[in-house]
Amino acid sequence: MNLYLQYLTALAPEVIVVATALLVLVMDLVLVREKPFAQRVGLTGAIACMGCGLAMVWVELVPCSIHSAMLSVSPLTQWVKVPLLLLTIFAAVLSWNERFTRHAGEYFALLLLAAAGLMLLVSSESLLMIFVALELLSTSLYALAAFDKSGVASSEAALKYFLFGGMSAAFTLFGISLIYGIAGDIQLDVIATRLRGHPVEPVFYAALVMTLVGFAFKLAAAPFHLWAPDVYEGAPTPVASFIASGSKVAAFFVLARILLSAFPGARGTASLGGHLPGWAPLLMVLAVLSMVAGNVAAIVQTNVKRLLAYSAIAHAGYALLALLADRRHALSALLFYTITYAFTVLGAFAVVGVVEESGRKASLADFAGLSRRAPLLSFCMLVFMLSLAGIPPLSGFFGKFYVFTAAADTAPKLSLLWLVVLAVAASAVSLYYYLQVLKQIYAVAPAPASAWPRPALSARVAIVLLAAIVIVLGCVPDLLLGKISELLKSNSF
Amino acid sequence: MLAWTIYISFLGAALLMFLPGENPRPAKVAALLAALAGLACAAKGAIECHLHAGAGALTDVANANWIPELGIRYHLAADGISLVLVLLTGIAAVAGVLFSWNVENRSREFFALYLALIGGVYGVFLSVDLFLLFVFYEVAIIPKYFLIVIWGSTRREYGAMKLALYSFVGSAMVLVGLIAAYVMAGARTFDLAALAKVHFAPAFQNWAFIVVFVGFAILAGLWPFHTWAPTGHVAAPTAASMLLAGVVMKLGAYGALRVAMTLFPVGLHTWQNTIAVLAVVGIVYGALVALVQQDFKFVIGYSSVSHMGFVLLGLMTLTQIGLSGAVLQMFSHGIIAGLLFAVVGRMVYDRTHTRDLAVLQPKNLNQVLPFAAVTFVVGGAASMGLPGFSGFIAELQVLVGAWQTFPVFAVMAAVGILAGVAYTLRVLLKAFFAEGQVEAREPLHCPRISLPERAGALLLLGTTLLIGLCPQLLLDFITPSLNSPLMQPLWKAGTR
């Protein structure tokens, strides 16, 4: 009994989120069915946000630590849920004014279930739990991506996402089964003890490759990135922003957990000189391809959502560099980078969403002269774009800087410098396309007769808050970094 | 006090960004006040530092923990060299606002970006934590892009993007070098003084030096990476060209001296001759190309490349007098180039709407715009390096230094000075004092030279004259700094 209670306290945030999802469904079905749509969305959305907020408060207030075969709830994993919930809240707020669906309850319920998937993912300890959480997340996201029934693009996006995602899940599962075959267990730390000193033989290598392929799909790392541009473009904008932000953070975190805590011995090397097999060379290949493919393809995009998709691929490449770094810095660099990136890209999508709501599309030309109509919004977009490009004093700059420094610091010193050089060069290229967007906003004159309805208050507030987060975390990175390093000192995972 | 140069500029920028209304007048006044306040802070800080720590060592301005995880500190400090450049920034900033008094289109945003750029420049000159320096260095890139792409003229999108990408590639190289130095030092610090004490392995220094040096020198117009400069200058609005040539190119030279040369003296020694060759090529090439330009602004643009060649040559001499000349030349060129760009862009182009020398030739501008003509004559004389102006003493020092280290280059650089005389006289004749064809010209009506323009021109002219007549004012700052402990590795490498 006592044990169950302990589990319940540990999993209370997830429980709260799932309960809220059910509540939202019931509310929409029973209480507000006949109300005008705006009220329904407002009410269900508000409850969804409150549920997430409650879960956040719980995470903050109730310290909890459990380590079992299924779950590992530590201060670190609990803390990671805070930005994830925050991202969910922002995504929910941005959905408030979208008009792509009549199904308010189902929409927010799915969003909350996806959030629950994210949270479970973060604190899973066994490979099977990780798989289950990943599927909960993915299935909700497939359905969310298809939510815009007015256009064929959304369905196409969802189908593509589903097919690619299903493939990747199959790969992951195959990899997991091979790992189980080798190590005889699915619990991460047990795998680590069983595999200590185990050579990276072909079967083991195949298991690593398979698992990584699955995650590379989820992270949209090249060459498994093909779904991303279509999904980002076709899915409803708030959904796309959630796919690009929250699911990235959780997927990177869990990938780091698997690699660093289950396979610390199978690292191998990614330096140009001596090649040792392991997961590091695999990540290196993914990182190089992602940085190059993402940045090159983004240059020619004319749709801002597709541009963001390719830039997301490039950013997955940068973030993979963090995983190659020494353990001391790998996780904190990765967390700082992915969390700040998530807030930035969420903000960028939010601005795109506002522009779309004014009856425009998301092509570059639709942003022409935005600064004349919406100066504050344009300034926020400036912040997001420059942060993505890595311009100080925005958080994207310090994230990149930390990742690059951590990668260069990997023992033996400067062995990964060539990757850092490539990444720095790639991000120099990326400035070009981010400036293309900003040029449209600031330098090109707006189309003469086009209406610009004032965007909804909630969206404006959310965007300004996101921009403030990006600026503040860039100027005072220690706010986030100090917390992360404090947590990492107290426990490894 | 000095730190307030940075804060005032950024506060001014933020204030202007969110100032309501489209009326240009408050924006201009606010920008002028911010620039003047910055100059006042710079001057006061310079005098204080001069009185209190005459030895030229780095004097702390601000020092606080910033990102403890990586040992990064918010550390501002100044020595004589940075003070000279901070003063230059202050003067150029005020002059730039005065010469932008006619910006009516989106003036709020214009001056906000302008002040953000100035703030970044102040920051670079005052930072001694290299991470902080890099942050400010990058902060200065983006406003340049927008200033050119929104308010620019000829091929502005091309010029702006070229400038932004060149700057960003340069700063990417610097970033790689900085990270590598941080990792190799293993001391978990980006502090300049601490890193300068580390003896990096020679093999490492050899590549790190050239990466960081070229990264910075791209912005200083090092041949053959100078091509952004003429196109950028030509595309930019007047104030932006003034700042580009006046202070932004100095960022590059300052970074090359402060970071690349100070951290990697052995690498410097390896590459000394190669870079000196590039600098001399830049001097001669820039001057010769300026000689055949048809666009008035391109002439000044290429002359900047040539003059910045003197700075780089002075740095490479590794002699006291050469380096002192290089720093003085940074100051001097900042003032003179600003002046010449102001005449071309503001006084002539904004009135005649052309910079084509063939079109300007029959207009007899010396009668229509006598003030502009006189300013250009004096500014041109300063640019040629006539005695009595700051350029003379600076280029003389560089040549003396170069003569001690590599006599052949000194002779070639002197040829560059001759070519400089030639292109200045040519453009002077063509643009202002062309004879004949007077009957063909229709009377040109254009507004008279306004008060802000006169004030700005007098400020810049006065400065170059003052320093020309009394170079000791700045040399008192520069010389002790060259003997400071920070610079010692440089001299050791030079005599090795």
Are residues A73 and A159 located together in one domain of the fold? no
User: B252 is written with which tokens?
Assistant: 């590059």
Q: Are B330 and B254 in contact (CB under 8 A)?
A: yes
User: A334 is written with which tokens?
Assistant: 């990765």
A481 → chain B, closest CA residue: B69
User: A315 is written with which tokens?
Assistant: 């950013």
CA distance A457 to chain B (A): 19
Are residues A305 and A271 located together in one domain of the fold? yes
- The answer to whether A402 faces chain B, any CB pair under 8 Å, is yes
A385 → chain B, closest CA residue: B142
pLDDT of residue A261: 87
Chain B hits for A393, CB-CB cut-off 8 Å, are 135, 139
Are residues A371 and A294 located together in one domain of the fold? yes
Of A68, A91, A124, at which residue does a domain stop?
Answer: A124
Q: Is the pLDDT of residue A178 over 90?
A: yes
Confidence of residue A9 (pLDDT cuts 50, 70, 90): confident
Of A91, A124, A157, at which residue does a domain stop?
Answer: A124
Chain A hits for B143, CB-CB cut-off 8 Å, are none
Adjacent-strand bridge partners of A71: A124
Chain A hits for B135, CB-CB cut-off 8 Å, are 392-393, 397
Q: Cβ of A404 and B179 within 8 Å?
A: yes
The residues near A267 (Cβ < 8 Å, ≥ 6 apart) are: A276, A278, A279, A280
Mutate to test the interface with A, among B166, B175, B212 (most CBs of A within 10 A): B175
Q: What pTM was estimated for this model as a whole?
A: 0.92
CA distance A52 to chain B (A): 31
- The answer to whether A491 faces chain B, any CB pair under 8 Å, is no
- The answer to whether A318 faces chain B, any CB pair under 8 Å, is no
Nearest to B180 among A414, A425, A485 (CB): A414
A80 vs A73, A450, B202, CA distance in Å? 11, 43, 44
Of A124, A146, A168, at which residue does a domain stop?
Answer: A124
Q: Cβ of B150 and A478 within 8 Å?
A: no
Chain B hits for A428, CB-CB cut-off 8 Å, are 165, 168-169, 172
DSSP single-letter state for residue A454 = P
- The answer to whether A425 faces chain B, any CB pair under 8 Å, is yes
Confidence of residue A401 (pLDDT cuts 50, 70, 90): very high
Q: Are B85 and B45 in contact (CB under 8 A)?
A: no
Other beta carbons within 10 angstroms of residue B120's beta carbon come to 28
pLDDT of residue B350: 80
B53 vs A50, B1, B196, B386, CA distance in Å? 60, 15, 21, 33
Are residues A186 and A295 located together in one domain of the fold? yes
Other beta carbons within 10 angstroms of residue B232's beta carbon come to 29
Q: Where are the domains of chain B?
A: 3-491
Are residues A208 and A91 located together in one domain of the fold? no
C-alpha angle with apex A395: A425 to A372, nearest 5 degrees?
A: 95
Mutate to test the interface with B, among A421, A475, A484 (most CBs of B within 10 A): A421
- Weakest mean pLDDT among A43-57, A308-322, B103-117: B103-117
Please state, in angstroms and rounded to a whole number, the distance separating the CA atoms of residues B334 and B467: 13
Tens digits of residue pLDDT in A20-32: 999 999 988 888 7
Tens digits of residue pLDDT in A248-289: 999 999 999 899 888 888 888 777 776 778 888 899 999 999
Q: Cβ of A432 and B142 within 8 Å?
A: no
Are residues A79 and A130 located together in one domain of the fold? no
User: A361 is written with which tokens?
Assistant: 């599309």
A484 → chain B, closest CA residue: B69
CA distance B64 to chain A (A): 12
Are residues A103 and A163 located together in one domain of the fold? no
C-alpha angle with apex A266: A265 to A267, nearest 5 degrees?
A: 95
Are residues A212 and A97 located together in one domain of the fold? no
- The answer to whether A452 faces chain B, any CB pair under 8 Å, is no
Please state, in angstroms and rounded to a whole number, the distance separating the CA atoms of residues A99 and A97: 6
The SS3 assignment for A268 reads coil
Please state, in angstroms and rounded to a whole number, the distance separating the CA atoms of residues B321 and B309: 16
Q: Cβ of B70 and A478 within 8 Å?
A: no
Chain A hits for B69, CB-CB cut-off 8 Å, are 332, 478, 481-482, 485
Per DSSP, helices labelled H in A220-278 are: 227-234, 237-244, 246-257
- The answer to whether A408 faces chain B, any CB pair under 8 Å, is yes
| Number of helices (H), then strands (E), in chain B | 25, 2
C-alpha angle with apex B111: B2 to A368, nearest 5 degrees?
A: 135
Q: Cβ of A405 and B134 within 8 Å?
A: no
Nearest to B180 among A332, A402, A408 (CB): A408
Q: Cβ of B150 and A443 within 8 Å?
A: yes
Give, for A204, the enclosing helix (H) or strand (E): helix A202-219
pLDDT of residue B233: 84
CA distance A414 to chain B (A): 7
Confidence of residue A458 (pLDDT cuts 50, 70, 90): confident
- The answer to whether A422 faces chain B, any CB pair under 8 Å, is no
C-alpha torsion angle, residues A374, A375, A380, A385 (rounded to 10) = 90
The residues near B455 (Cβ < 8 Å, ≥ 6 apart) are: B98
Per-residue pLDDT of chain B (496 residues; tens, 9 = 90+): 788 888 989 998 888 887 777 778 888 888 889 899 999 988 888 888 777 766 567 788 888 888 888 889 899 888 888 889 999 999 999 999 988 888 888 888 888 999 999 999 999 999 999 999 999 999 988 898 898 888 888 788 888 888 888 999 999 999 999 999 998 888 888 988 888 888 888 888 899 999 999 999 998 888 888 888 888 888 888 888 888 888 888 999 999 999 998 889 888 888 988 999 999 999 999 999 988 888 888 888 899 999 999 999 999 988 888 899 999 999 999 999 999 988 888 888 888 787 887 777 777 777 778 888 888 888 888 888 888 888 888 888 998 998 888 888 888 888 888 898 898 888 888 888 876 555 445 556 677 788 888 888 889 999 988 988 888 888 888 888 888 888 887 777 555 4
- In total, the C-beta contacts within 8 angstroms joining chain A to chain B are 82
Please state, in angstroms and rounded to a whole number, the distance separating the CA atoms of residues A170 and A132: 12
Adjacent-strand bridge partners of B134: none
pLDDT of residue B496: 40
Chain A hits for B180, CB-CB cut-off 8 Å, are 408, 414, 417
Q: Are A358 and A429 in contact (CB under 8 A)?
A: no
pLDDT of residue B438: 53
Are residues A210 and A263 located together in one domain of the fold? yes
Adjacent-strand bridge partners of B127: B76
Q: Are B192 and B128 in contact (CB under 8 A)?
A: yes
What is the extent of the structural domain holding A276?
125-490
Please state, in angstroms and rounded to a whole number, the distance separating the CA atoms of residues B43 and B160: 32
Q: Cβ of A413 and B176 within 8 Å?
A: no
Domains of chain A: total: 2
Q: Are B64 and B457 in contact (CB under 8 A)?
A: no
Are residues A58 and A111 located together in one domain of the fold? yes
Half-sphere exposure of A99 (CA within 13 A, CB side): 8
Mutate to test the interface with A, among B22, B73, B176, B225 (most CBs of A within 10 A): B176
Are residues A199 and A248 located together in one domain of the fold? yes
Q: Rounded to 5 degrees, what are φ and ψ at B73?
A: -120, 150
| Alpha-carbon A241 to chain mean position | 9
Please state, in angstroms and rounded to a whole number, the distance separating the CA atoms of residues B240 and B144: 7
Q: Cβ of B149 and A405 within 8 Å?
A: no
Q: Is B318 left (phi over 0), alpha (psi -120 to 50) or beta?
A: left
Are residues A95 and A162 located together in one domain of the fold? no
CA distance B238 to chain A (A): 18
Asked if omega into A448 is within 30° of 0 (cis), the reply is no
A190 vs A184, A195, A254, A260, CA distance in Å? 9, 8, 16, 13
Q: Cβ of B172 and A424 within 8 Å?
A: yes
Please state, in angstroms and rounded to a whole number, the distance separating the CA atoms of residues A362 and A353: 8
CA distance A413 to chain B (A): 7
- Mean pLDDT, all residues of chain A: 88
Please state, in angstroms and rounded to a whole number, the distance separating the CA atoms of residues B377 and B496: 45
Please state, in angstroms and rounded to a whole number, the distance separating the CA atoms of residues A250 and A335: 10
Q: Are B489 and B257 in contact (CB under 8 A)?
A: no
Q: Is the pLDDT of residue A333 over 70?
A: yes
The SS3 assignment for A73 reads strand
Q: Is the pLDDT of residue A99 over 80?
A: no
Please state, in angstroms and rounded to a whole number, the distance separating the CA atoms of residues A314 and A323: 15
